[in-house]
């Protein structure tokens, strides 16, 4: 069996100043640009986070971090990962994620069990062996979208606004809008 790559947009739930990020690496029941559709449960047999690598652009010589948590939910394959910011490429990737320059994820896997949908011609993946998750420039699965990118700067600004509002309330200078 040959290794296959499936790309999807990284649905970032958050990205922290320490390089932590989370989101959807794959979304179920969507035909991607490779004409593959992944069914719920396709990953459940092999979600050992210690064996699944976090790479840059599927380049096996460029690991950029590690996966902290990986699991299936109703939407798709959800990951929490940590970019190792001491690695130059990981720092570059982190900056690109934070600024929205990239938002794509791609999975490298071996299809273990699948059917062909004779109407659409799509390969319907029932079980896959997941090898790696990569941050990529051009995703194939467009269903997963960026939800929120959170940084320490945004959190600090929100905290400062909340403190100013509390001060205004306490001093009687708060004006409700």
Active site residues: 58, 106, 132
Residue 122 · residue 37 · CB < 8 Å: yes
Cα–Cα distance, 18 to 149 (Å, whole number): 13
Radius of gyration from C-alpha coordinates of the chain: 19
| Listed residue (31, 64, 52) closest to 141, CA to CA | 31
Residue 153 · residue 75 · CB < 8 Å: no
Residue 111 · residue 124 · CB < 8 Å: no
The CB density around residue 64, as the number of other CB atoms within 10 Å, is 26
């Amino acid at each position: 069996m040959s290794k296959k790559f499936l790309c999807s947009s990284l649905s970032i739930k958050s990205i922290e100043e320490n390089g932590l990020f989370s989101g959807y690496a794959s979304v179920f029941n969507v035909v991607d640009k490779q004409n593959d559709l992944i069914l719920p449960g396709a990953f459940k047999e092999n979600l050992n986070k210690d064996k699944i690598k976090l790479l840059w652009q599927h380049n096996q010589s460029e690991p950029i971090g590690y996966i902290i948590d990986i699991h299936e939910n109703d939407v798709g394959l959800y990951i929490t990962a940590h970019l190792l910011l001491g690695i130059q490429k990981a720092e570059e990737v982190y900056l690109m994620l934070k600024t929205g320059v990239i938002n794509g994820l791609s999975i490298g896997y071996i299809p273990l069990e699948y059917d062909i949908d004779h109407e659409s011609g799509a390969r319907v993946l029932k079980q896959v062996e997941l090898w790696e998750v990569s941050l990529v420039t051009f995703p194939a699965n467009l269903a997963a979208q960026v939800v929120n990118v959170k940084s320490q700067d945004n959190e600090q600004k929100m905290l400062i606004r909340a403190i100013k509002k509390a001060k205004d309330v306490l001093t009687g200078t708060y004006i409700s809008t």
